Structure 1
Amino acid sequence: MWPDRRIQDLLGIELPIIQAPMAGSVGSEIVIAVSEAGGLGSLPCAMLSPEQMRNELGIIRQRTSRPINLNFFCHQPAQADPARETTWKQRLESYYLELGLDPQAPVPAVARAPFDSAMCDLVQEFRPEVVSFHFGLPERALLERVKATGAKIISSATTVDEARWLEDQGCNAIIAQGYEAGGHRGVFLTDDISTQAGTMALVPQVVDAVRVPVIAAGGIADARGIVAAFVLGASAVQIGTAYLFCPEAKVSAVHREALKRAKDNDTVLTNVFTGRPARGIVNRIVREVGPMSELAPQFPLASGAVSPLRTRAEAAGSGDFSPLWSGQAAALGQNLPADELTRQLGSDALAILSRFALADGSIPT
């Protein structure tokens, strides 16, 4: 009954729903639940060590034989810039003093690594059905090793130019990430976020520009958004923020509370947490230091100096310095288990689609 089954057939899933791989907020529990419900569960690996990846994959493979997706970042390793990092620490010094922290203490190590040979070794060992990338694609040799496992390759595009580039590099499907999406923008051919298109404008243009199936992402949190994505020509959707409401999500108490209160105009693109533009709920540090700061070190180094502030504030019940990642549709979120949410999204979307179906079962576009 789905008007376009290309993603389901390509990835071997029942529902055209991909759970977004949100680093730091998603672990094996959600991946298993979504995959068992018929969608595609996605494990974010950018903040995991090889040992942590192995542990999570061991749990997943023990509990589901359904297709899964492993997601990796493809950013260039940051170049050390002591002067800029010192300036950034000085900008945050007043907050350190306010919270009783030593502004001269060493900056904690940053745990966001680009896809490398060690991660590729684990892909070859565990052979996930899907491997997705953010910020472009890895170097050709690594990409060829991933392809040799039989995994389907997908990556995020925020412009038509990026979508065409990904198709030329051999991606099996492309995620069209609209401006509304929470978390990091997937930009890799430009640094200009002022011209980024929203999902409604981006998806049909990407669909027209490439031959591979397109996955719509950004501001999709309920069945109405899924149906709209199909009408725009997408073959599936990727949903992130809606899954942060699930009890399995690994979000802090302050983040969960912020999501419950979030309105349509409560989020903004900011670089103060990592050095790269990402959409989250506005809080104190975003208002006072950002939202976009020229002082923030190169991604992901900005997060090192912010981390102690976050830890101390969250211990006191405050989200003033926490990255409260969220898309623009958080107000549509439901407090449901991940498997139940996945099934409900699928059944509700089909119910809406059936009301608009033509005599031959197709959906008018």
Structure 2
Amino acid sequence: MSTDTNTDSSWQQTDVTRLLGLDLPIVLAPFGGVSSVELAATVSNRGGLGSYGLYGYGADRIAATARELAAATAKPFALNLWLPLGDSENIHPSQEEFDHYLAPLTRYFEELGLPLPERPAAYLPAFEEQFEAVLEARPAVLSLVFGAPTTDVVERAHERGIRLLGTATTVEEAVALDQAGVDAIVATGAEAGGHRVSFLRSAEDSLVGTFALVPQVVDAVSVPVIAAGGIADGRGLAAALVLGAGAAQIGSAFLATRQSAAASVYRDALRGDGAAHTVLTRALSGRLARGIPNRVTTEVDEVAPFPVQNWLTGRFRPTAGERGIADLMSLWAGQGTPLVRHDDANALIDALLADAGARLA
């Protein structure tokens, strides 16, 4: 249970908690590739919103994951999908183009003793396939990144009783999401770790800081707002609420806990010196993302388009993680990562509540 000694917990009830049926204004960021049922269920069971990233998951795997989550928690949880952006679902490079994209990465396959991958028939499952599986699973919440949902997506989700969260990196994107009919908006600042999920302008032209973005979004939209980016402790949670957000989405601090699916070498990196010097890079996925620099981010200059680059590096990154080679992994991390203090998710939640509660009393 929480160690918070402040008896006034009224600050914990907000427009977001009421909308989503939560007890705490804390949202776990969805992690592509390193989400875990244990961590999502831990956050949900404590009264926040546990989230699970479904990037690259086919329908069967989505159904199985949703069943595991439902067995681990009776509380609301969110599943997360990437909307198709541009022609990302229709990229089919020729063999010659594929070989050209692979060439700058061959050194890493050789270093790990892995065979070079062959050109696949597809690089990602179709969004429609994933969405149908989510509809069948009926999570309390579906969070979306890289776009605004169509009217069909909104209506079909709402028919199943699923709340929709959209993700914005600018006020313009937040307004577009509001007009599309989402139930709440995650305003994610440039400090956030992982991919920059901009969709109306280039990611490089959408780097607004969290605490400049949040109050502007609050003023511009009609739905509740969740603050994200650089929030890793109770001070950040309190600040987000004071600026008008109804909850804070927290990533790196939870990713560093033992309940996450991050490899131990990744969790160590989140506590290392490099965490204070994150960079924005396309080297690992083909899309701009914030993480701790390593050999891949510094050595790879020629990058294939997304999702080809992400698929290619995804052929060696898991092996690197298993072998503890951080230089060949995606070490996504936000600018608040040096504030990471806890290796247990429950201890982190206790600290968030105690510190925010003391400041908001």
The two structures share one fold, judged by TM-score above 0.5? yes
- Could you tell me which runs of 5 or more consecutive residues in structure 2 were left unpaired when the two chains were aligned: 1-9
What is the deviation of 1:110?
Answer: 7.2
What is the deviation of 1:207?
Answer: 1.2
> Could you tell me which residue of structure 1 aligns to residue 230 of structure 2?
219
SS of the aligned residue for 1:334 comes to: coil
- Listed one character per residue, the Cα deviations across residues 109-149 of structure 1 (whole Å, up to 9, x for unaligned) are 87654531x33333333321111101013443233211211
Letter in 2 for 1:29: E
**Equivalent residues of 2:30, 2:51 under 8 A apart:** yes
What is the deviation of 1:185?
Answer: 1.0
Letter in 2 for 1:66: K
> Could you tell me which residue of structure 2 aligns to residue 81 of structure 1?
93
2:143 is the alignment partner of 1:106:
no
> Could you tell me which residue of structure 2 aligns to residue 358 of structure 1?
none
Once the two structures are overlaid, the 10-residue window that deviates more, 226-235 or 214-223, is 226-235
SS of the aligned residue for 2:204 comes to: coil
Change (3 A) 1:88 1:227: same
> Could you tell me which residue of structure 2 aligns to residue 93 of structure 1?
106
Once the two structures are overlaid, the 10-residue window that deviates more, 222-231 or 91-100, is 91-100
> Could you tell me which residue of structure 2 aligns to residue 187 of structure 1?
198
Letter in 2 for 1:68: F
Q: Quote the RMSD (CA, aligned, Å).
A: 2.2
**Percent of matched pairs sharing the same residue:** 39
> Could you tell me which residue of structure 2 aligns to residue 235 of structure 1?
246
In the alignment, the residues of structure 2 paired with residue 326 and residue 242 of structure 1 have an alpha-carbon distance, to the nearest angstrom, of 9
- Listed one character per residue, the Cα deviations across residues 310-329 of structure 1 (whole Å, up to 9, x for unaligned) are 34544543222210111111
SS of the aligned residue for 1:193 comes to: helix
Once the two structures are overlaid, the 10-residue window that deviates more, 17-26 or 308-317, is 308-317
1:285 corresponds to which of 275, 287, 296: 296
2:11 corresponds to which of 2, 23, 28: 2
2:54 is the alignment partner of 1:48:
no
- Listed one character per residue, the Cα deviations across residues 196-220 of structure 1 (whole Å, up to 9, x for unaligned) are 1111211111111112111100000
Letter in 2 for 1:13: L
SS of the aligned residue for 2:181 comes to: coil
> Could you tell me which residue of structure 1 aligns to residue 4 of structure 2?
none
> Could you tell me which residue of structure 2 aligns to residue 325 of structure 1?
332
Letter in 2 for 1:20: A
Once the two structures are overlaid, the 10-residue window that deviates more, 166-175 or 51-60, is 51-60
Change (3 A) 1:3 1:28: closer
2:63 is the alignment partner of 1:63:
no
1:30-179 equivalences under 5 Å are 30-76=39-85, 77-82=89-94, 83-103=96-116, 105-107=117-119, 112-113=124-125, 115-116=127-128, 118-179=129-190
What is the deviation of 1:194?
Answer: 4.1
SS of the aligned residue for 1:276 comes to: coil
1:283-362 equivalences under 5 Å are 283-290=294-301, 295-354=302-361
State the 4+ residue runs in structure 1 displaced beyond 6 angstroms.
Answer: 108-111
In the alignment, the residues of structure 1 paired with residue 198 and residue 126 of structure 2 have an alpha-carbon distance, to the nearest angstrom, of 15
Would you say how many aligned residue pairs link Structure 1 and Structure 2? Answer: 348
- Listed one character per residue, the Cα deviations across residues 7-29 of structure 1 (whole Å, up to 9, x for unaligned) are 01111101110000111111211
What is the deviation of 1:274?
Answer: 1.3
Letter in 2 for 1:24: G
**Equivalent residues of 1:159, 1:202 under 8 A apart:** yes
Q: Report the TM-score, using the length of structure 1 for normalisation.
A: 0.88
SS of the aligned residue for 2:271 comes to: helix
**Equivalent residues of 1:229, 1:237 under 8 A apart:** yes
- Listed one character per residue, the Cα deviations across residues 84-132 of structure 1 (whole Å, up to 9, x for unaligned) are 43322122234444444455x415687654531x333333333211111
What is the deviation of 1:56?
Answer: 1.9
